[in-house]
Each structure stands twice: as C-alpha cells, then as structure tokens.
C-alpha cells in the first residue's frame, strides 16, 4: 500500500459520513484529495524538503478523533493563564465546554469553522483557500481534503479588540490521531487584534497536526500573531501560514517552537500595498532528536514596504534545526527595506543546523540585508561569570537565555514569554530554575 493510500482510505470513509454537504465544499475536498494523490508526500529529493524527512507522517496510521472529551482540570493544567477570548479544540474537535467567548464585541466574530460553514458557508467560501490553495504543498492539499474544523475570525473596520483571541489545540495520549485545522482571519481596515495559536498536550501523545492559516489584513489593519508550539515530544506538526497585507497594514509574527518530534513551519507574507510592514520573530529550541524546520518568505510586491526578520535557534543533544528564509523584491518595488537575520546556538557537538538565508531582488532602489551565524557558548564569557561566583551550569544557562532574549524581549505577553523562558531553562542540562538565573543576573549587573 502506498504512503498516500491510508490517508485516502480514511478520507473516503469520512466522505460517506458527510452526505448532503454543500456542493462547493465537496468539490474543494475532492480537488484537495486529487492533488494530494498526484503529488504524494515530499522526499528529501525535493528542494524545499531536502533537510526534512516526513516518513514518520507518511507511514503513520492516524485515525480521526470522534469526540472532544477532556476535563476542565486537564485543560487548566495545559492552558495559558491569559484573560482571552478562547476557542478550544481537542485532537482537532471543537470543545464548547472548554471555550469562552463571553462578552465578545458585536464587531468581532470568532467561531469554529464547522459552525461558520453551517450557518453562512457562502461568506466563508470566498476567502477560504484563496491564499493557500491545493497546489501550495502536499500538506495544504491534504488539509483541504479533510477540511471540516478550525476557526474563523472576522474583525469589523476600526475595531480594536482589547483581549487576545486564543485558539487552543490540545493533543491527547492514546490511539494516534490526526487533525487538519483551518484558520481564516479577516481583519478589516484600521482594526487591531492579537491572535494566539497554542499547541500543547498530554506528555505521551503521539498525534499528527496539519494546520493551514490564512490571514487577510485590509488597509491599516494591525495583527499581532503568536504561535506557541509546545506540543508533546511525540507529536508531528506541520503548519502553513499565509498572510496578505494591504496598504499601511502591519503584521507581526512570533513563531515560538519548543515541542514536537517533527516540526515544519511555512510562513509567507505578501506585502501588496505601500506602507505595509511585516515583522517575523522566531525562536526554536530542540533537544533529544527533535527536528524543527522553519521556512519563511516575505514578498515585497509593492514599493515603500518594510520587513524585518530575526530567527534564533537553540539546539541541544542530537536535535536538528533548519532555517530557510527568503526576501523577494518584485520588479519596480522601489524604496523597500528588507532585513533578515538568523543566529543559531549549538549546545552539543552532535546538534545540527542547516541555514539558508536568501535575497531575490528585481529593483534597484532598495535596502536589504541578510545573514546567518552558528556557534557555541563563549567559553571566555563562561569563565568571566564563574570568577564572580556563578557555577558553570548557571553561567551556561544565563548565556543561553541571553541569546534567546533578543527575540523574547519582543514578546509583549508575559504568560507566553514566561512559558518559553521556563521551557528553555528547564530543558538545559542541570534543570536549574529561572528564578535562580534571574537572581544571578541581577548580582552580575550590580
């Protein structure tokens, strides 16, 4: 049996259960299935996947979850301590009991995709799939074939959403399952919001999540987008995020990856109007045999646009990281600024990083730069800290957190910053706590 056939068989069974759905949805699913079957899973012979082996996904046997049974206590132990509008999904299934949309303003719509399709499918059908079609990748095609749940967020013109919108994806231990969430965000002109995707789960979970997010920012819209991926160490996670930005819009991505056995993120932003600005901040931490692959692309499709990217990787043990970032400047997109930086810290001689920053420029009046560095902790700096009475483990922890700090200082939500800081500190060899590091840092500055 081919690697794709198991997925197609599961899809065929699911399709029989969906009798009577609107024709356009069925047609899109069929298009996704046909494209998935034609493309097959990528191999390392494919340029975009040369460093990432997806056989763990292709040869997996994943069911589809049928329920969202998860107690309040279980969820509370995993969720972020935030005052937020919350949509919760358990193994891809919407959980009303674990969601909270109380006091959501009338000018903001937040709902599960299943409800949006049932109540007003024509309004969803237009934008859905416009940015990330079935030709984008095998995984986008697979997501479209299974597309039935996810989140729809619509923000009316001029609306400032005071609380974050949290999309929480919980992964359960047990029989391996797969989910294919679809996220659609439409931020109208001069609106402003913070969106959080949070992936987390029970320690022994070994599931497959394949998410596609399409984010559309109208003129002057501002969207701060946090993706905190701390899935269980056995989970497999693939994400495609595509952003469309019109004139004077501002999009900021905080892509924070801590968990998962195999992780792939594709992040693309199209700057389509003058004055559009995008900022990509990324941090990935790998240990054991984790594999984290980040592919980013900024398309300067209009003049007078701005992009800034800063990705940092910290890799320990036999972890493998990949960074491939590209800045593309379209012909006649003059007076743009595009900056890209990737820095990586290897805490082990066996850790690996493959980095490929790229610029592709077809205009002459531009300011662009890119660069990547890879290194280990500075032994002289460690020695200097030890001469001040700090033990070696704490010194290494201080320097590691300082390396991550350039990205973390951009994170405006304390609950997320603290979760990342504690995860990084806790995963360091001696498992010292962050409070001790903070005290040591304060003493060092005195």
Number of domains in the chain: 2
Q: What is residue 49's DSSP assignment?
A: G
Considering the domain architecture, whether residues 61 and 175 belong to the same structural domain is answered as yes
Quickly list H helices, 95-188: 113-125, 138-145
Predicted pLDDT of residue 2:
63
Considering the domain architecture, whether residues 169 and 23 belong to the same structural domain is answered as yes
Residue 434: inside a domain: yes
In terms of residue numbers, what domain contains 87?
A: 3-272
Q: How many CB atoms lie within 10 A of CB 431?
A: 10
Residue 393: inside a domain: yes
CA–CA dist 399, 376 (Å, integer): 10
Considering the domain architecture, whether residues 124 and 268 belong to the same structural domain is answered as yes
Q: How many CB atoms lie within 10 A of CB 435?
A: 10
- Indicate the residue among 249, 272, 295 that finishes a domain: 272
Angle between helices 434-445 and 414-426 (to 10 degrees): 100
Considering the domain architecture, whether residues 30 and 176 belong to the same structural domain is answered as yes
Letter string b/e over residues 400-417, b meaning 16 or more CB atoms within 10 A of that residue's CB: bbebbeebbeebebebbb
Residue 66: inside a domain: yes
Considering the domain architecture, whether residues 254 and 396 belong to the same structural domain is answered as no
Structure tokens at 414: 């304390």
Residue 98: inside a domain: yes
Residue 292: inside a domain: no
Residue 289: inside a domain: no
Considering the domain architecture, whether residues 266 and 385 belong to the same structural domain is answered as no
CA–CA dist 223, 313 (Å, integer): 24
- Indicate the residue among 243, 272, 301 that finishes a domain: 272
Considering the domain architecture, whether residues 11 and 134 belong to the same structural domain is answered as yes
Predicted pLDDT of residue 444:
53
Give me the sign of the Cα torsion angle 256, 260, 262, 265: negative
**pLDDT tens per residue across all 446 residues of the chain:** 468 999 999 999 998 887 777 888 889 999 999 999 999 999 999 999 999 999 999 999 999 999 999 999 999 999 999 999 999 999 999 999 999 999 999 999 999 999 998 887 777 888 999 999 999 999 999 999 999 999 999 999 999 999 999 999 999 999 999 999 999 999 999 999 999 999 999 999 999 999 999 999 999 999 999 999 999 999 999 999 999 999 999 999 999 999 999 999 999 999 999 999 999 999 999 999 999 999 999 999 999 999 999 999 999 999 999 999 999 999 999 999 999 999 999 999 999 999 999 999 999 999 999 999 999 998 888 888 888 877 887 788 788 888 998 899 999 999 999 899 888 865 444 444 545 555 555 455 45
Residue 314: inside a domain: no
Residue 131: inside a domain: yes
Structure tokens at 279: 């900022």
- Indicate the residue among 251, 272, 293 that finishes a domain: 272
């Amino acid at each position: 049996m081919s690697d794709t056939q198991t997925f197609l068989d599961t899809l065929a069974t699911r399709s029989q259960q969906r009798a009577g759905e609107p024709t356009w949805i069925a047609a899109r699913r069929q298009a996704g299935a046909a494209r998935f079957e034609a493309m097959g899973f990528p191999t390392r012979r494919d340029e975009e996947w040369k460093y990432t082996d997806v056989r763990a996904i292709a040869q997996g046997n994943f069911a589809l979850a049928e329920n969202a049974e998860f107690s309040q206590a279980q969820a509370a132990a995993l969720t972020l301590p935030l005052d937020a509008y919350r949509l919760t999904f358990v193994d891809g299934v919407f959980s009303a009991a674990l969601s909270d949309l109380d006091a959501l303003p009338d000018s903001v719509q937040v709902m599960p995709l299943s409800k949006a399709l049932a109540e007003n499918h024509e309004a969803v059908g237009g934008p859905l799939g416009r940015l990330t079609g079935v030709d984008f990748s095998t995984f986008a095609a697979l997501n479209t074939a299974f597309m039935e749940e996810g989140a729809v967020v619509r923000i009316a013109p001029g609306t400032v959403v005071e609380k974050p919108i949290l999309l929480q994806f919980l992964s359960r231990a047990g029989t391996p399952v797969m989910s294919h969430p679809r996220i659609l965000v439409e931020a109208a002109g001069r609106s402003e919001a913070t969106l959080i995707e949070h992936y987390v789960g029970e320690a022994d979970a070994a599931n497959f999540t394949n998410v596609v997010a399409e984010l559309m920012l109208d003129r002057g819209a501002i969207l701060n987008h946090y993706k905190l991926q701390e899935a269980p160490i056995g989970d497999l996670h693939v994400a495609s995020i595509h952003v469309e930005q019109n004139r004077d819009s501002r999009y900021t991505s905080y892509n924070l990856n801590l968990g998962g056995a195999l992780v792939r993120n594709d992040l693309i932003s199209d700057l389509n109007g003058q004055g559009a600005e995008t900022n990509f901040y990324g941090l990935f931490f790998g240990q054991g045999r984790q594999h984290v692959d980040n592919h980013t692309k900024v398309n300067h499709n209009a003049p007078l646009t701005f992009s800034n990217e800063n990705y940092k990787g910290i890799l320990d043990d036999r972890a493998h990281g990949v960074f491939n970032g590209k800045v593309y400047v379209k012909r006649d997109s003059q007076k743009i600024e595009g900056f890209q930086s990737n820095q990586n810290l290897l805490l082990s001689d066996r850790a690996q990083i493959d980095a490929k920053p790229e610029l592709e420029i077809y205009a002459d009046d531009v300011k662009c730069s890119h660069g990547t560095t890879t290194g280990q902790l500075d032994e002289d700096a460690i020695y200097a800290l030890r001469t001040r009475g700090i033990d070696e483990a704490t010194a290494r922890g201080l320097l590691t957190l300082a390396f991550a700090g350039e990205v973390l200082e951009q994170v405006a939500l304390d609950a997320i910053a603290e979760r990342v800081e504690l995860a990084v500190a806790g995963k360091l060899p001696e498992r010292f706590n962050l409070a001790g590091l903070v005290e040591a840092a304060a003493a060092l500055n005195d």
